[in-house]
Structure 1
Amino acid sequence: MDRTRPVYILSVGCGPSTELYGAVQALNDMTISYMGIDRNPIWNEIQNFNIDRFEQTPHIVQYTSEDFFSFIKDRWADILILNYFFSDLIKFSPDITDDFINRLADLINNGIFKWVVINDIPLFYKDGTGYICMEHLAQKLSPAIKVARRHFATPNDFQPIYGTKLPCNLSIPIVEQNVQTFNPFESKGSIQLIIKVNHSQK
């Protein structure tokens, strides 16, 4: 990746942007230009906090409520993030889920993103889960595109093993006392689909 420019990250359905902080830690020697897309105004306060938090740093943090496909037209990103997006999409907007997956697959196959990181809930029902959406998307990708599946928690007897097992401990432990009343998770339990796209350098 070209280290002379920022890493462009686009997060769809970003909510509070927890992945922003993970990206800053993971890419700690690089500048990040982050754009979060979310239409729910419930997140406005914490999104404004995030903008203020990074204002005096080299990183650029922005948000929009624009439609994802309208926004990405004539644009591209190094990394696309869908963090718990699919499980919400299929739960609240099942009628548009298939169309979204088809259009997203077209963007990925056309090289609009270098990486796509999908993180979601480890529910493995036949219908109505992020897992099903992830697998439908994977089936629509070009054979030249590399796909990796990962999980953190050890599955129970009724769950399939979703790809490679990774450590479940938090990369950034939650130690702030003022959030302990909300009982934050102490470990990771999600599943991930990581898509690496080979295309010309932007």
Structure 2
Amino acid sequence: MDSSLYWMGISFAILSGIINNFGIILQKKVVNEIRAEVKFGRVLIKNPLWLLGLMMQLGIGTIFFLSAQVYIGPALIPGLMASGLIILAFGSVKIIGETLKKDEIIGILLMIGAIVLLGISGLSINISEQNLLDLMFIFRIIIFSLIVFISSIICEILQRKIEKYSGILLSIFSGLMFSLSNFWVSLLLG
């Protein structure tokens, strides 16, 4: 793969994460400013800042995500999109007025290091090299999708029953759903 295309894919994945999480910050700012007695949904739909945040998440961020899929494949994108969490953390401090704890700052620094290492790793997967009509390939896709989906359902059920591990199980559930969507997007683009 051409080096410039690889770095363009890396940039698109990072931009997707940043734009997506900045959209979340804008939406969170609007939600925090709404009084409790107001009809919540109607106020959100009429607020241009909230709509801009939604457009950044679902529109602009998605375009960069799909572009990154084309250039570097599905392997690196989730890790690179995590760069947006750094923006989410600092944006929450600046725009919303939240505070960061010492361990959160250490986590951000570790994430920055991981993103740099992912970027220079040179890893990419060419999503157009597989014959999508091969029966064994289709069988593997179905098995993988079912395993991930069933695992997600199990995590969802367990997080309702075991309150102590609810946060961890929801995180695993979210990661599994994100990996499944990332997997299917790469197939559809291939």
Q: Fold conserved (TM > 0.5)?
A: no
TM-score (norm 2): 0.25
TM-score (norm 1): 0.24
- Of structures 1 and 2, the one scoring higher in RCO (CA 8 A, sep 6+) is 2
